[in-house]
A and B are shown apart, each in its own frame.
Chain A
């Protein structure tokens, strides 16, 4: 399958969105709202629930179900208040020693004038900085689209998982095509050039595992995902915090391809 075909699948409406994973993976959920600074952003769902017997904080970028819901959630393009809500709940999780589980599905951070006025760049930058040092385990799963900085703002994690047809990209293939070829119709070519598939993420050390998509047996699929989370969490929770943070640091530290004095 080509990268473009995967991109189309990742964007299909009717594909399970963040809410479906929350409902399937966590029991007794309590949803928490607002950034306590400016407002509430429906593009990011957050709250506390049980993963088996373990209380966890969940954060999910939610594109919405029907048109009305999608409008209310800004089609899953978060604004600064969404990222600040996510950060607030991450710090809360840290205080109470709860692991953080993030679900990413976004075309990217919202590009409106209001988002710029309220510091979209700063909001993302602060999440990157804080997640790098958060003293509880962070697991991030890209369930659909992982669009640029707006996805990375929930992606500085100890483990990153990709769904089989999920994509993760530095820029939307449309944006890339219009910048490079002044032709947004060359999306297919751009998607290919950008290397956005789950296999690419494994190859570049951006993700640790790929989850197969068996949406027709969604509860069973989530059961397998849950088992993987529990396995990785018990491994992470058994480590001294300093070691976990050092490994998180190295996880990103080693990403980069260049030559020095002509040698790779």
Chain B
């Protein structure tokens, strides 16, 4: 079955594997999900979907060109089970690591785009994620392009020890250079964005959008509950909570996302002058 969907995906250029709704557990065919802007056709909740699908969905057809697709993680600390986790993640997602980067057009507006893969070791950031996103910003700087980033992450990848923590600094420095040259960085926070990614490039956008109901925070809810010693409000660390506290610019539904992004990219087009 997996072989068949893989083959179909190859032939059509689209990911044909079915999606499973995290809320109601319904299996939804890829085609139906695509048509429905990745809302569950059974319960209406937002489906979690991977970086490559995300880009296919948001980018104009046949405009995506990948940057540095062949980077793979190494188990350089011989960390318990890391090699096996990588192998499993590669098998279930078909990706080499937790982010897909490249250039694309959104309703005709060129940009550098990256989107994270929540099912690849919880889209944790290790050397490969850090390197690929850094390269994406460097490419964007060189070509004076805006960067559009879809974040989703469980945080830094502890299996790469201190090297993973340093990726936060590495990417931030690249964001800074891109920004200093007057380029736009637009982030879309998707469910779930936490830990070291929240504490670095997710929160460094000039404009920060979020999907409805997305979990976004620094510390995990359970840790916060233990520290605070009380029950937290239901919407704690959800995008609505962040909007209310002043940390995101706008919450945008999936049906409006493409036009909103396209408009913002157009407004920041550096070639247009009166």
Contacts and interface: CB of A to CB of B under 8 A. Distances in A.
A125 B203 CA distance: 6
A124 B72 contact: no
B89 interface: no
B72 to A, nearest CB: 5
Q: Chain A: interface residue count, which band?
A: 35 or more
Given A111-B223, A204-B162, A256 B131 contact: yes
A44 to B, nearest CB: 16
B117 interface: no
Which DSSP category, helix, strand, loop or mixed, fits chain B's interface? helix
A114 B218 CA distance: 12
**Residue from B201, B218, B219 having most chain A Cβ neighbours under 10 A:** B218
A154 B182 CA distance: 26
A88 interface: no
Contacts of B230: 113
A264 B70 CA distance: 12
Interface stretch (A10-18, A51-59, A192-200): A192-200
Interface stretch (A61-69, A168-176, A209-217, A219-227): A168-176
Interface residues of B, number: 63
A163 to B, nearest CB: 16
A195 B72 contact: no
**Residue from B72, B161, B195, B200 having most chain A Cβ neighbours under 10 A:** B161
B161 A170 contact: yes
B218 A132 contact: no
A258 B227 contact: no
Contacts of A171: 156, 158
A126 to B, nearest CB: 8
Interface string B61-74: 00000001011111
A249 interface: yes
A208 to B, nearest CB: 14
* Interface pairs A-B: 9 shortest CB-CB: A121-B198, A128-B172, A111-B219, A121-B218, A256-B127, A125-B203, A132-B173, A124-B199, A170-B165
Interface of B: 68, 70-74, 76-77, 79-81, 126-128, 130-131, 134, 156-158, 160-170, 172-177, 179-180, 195-196, 198-204, 216-219, 223-224, 227-228, 230, 232, 236-237, 245-247
13 contacts: A112-B227, A113-B236, A115-B219, A121-B217, A125-B201, A128-B200, A152-B168, A170-B165, A193-B161, A200-B162, A252-B170, A255-B163, A258-B72
Given A149-B156, A262-B70, 9 more contacts: A116-B218, A119-B245, A119-B246, A122-B203, A126-B204, A132-B169, A133-B180, A170-B165, A260-B70
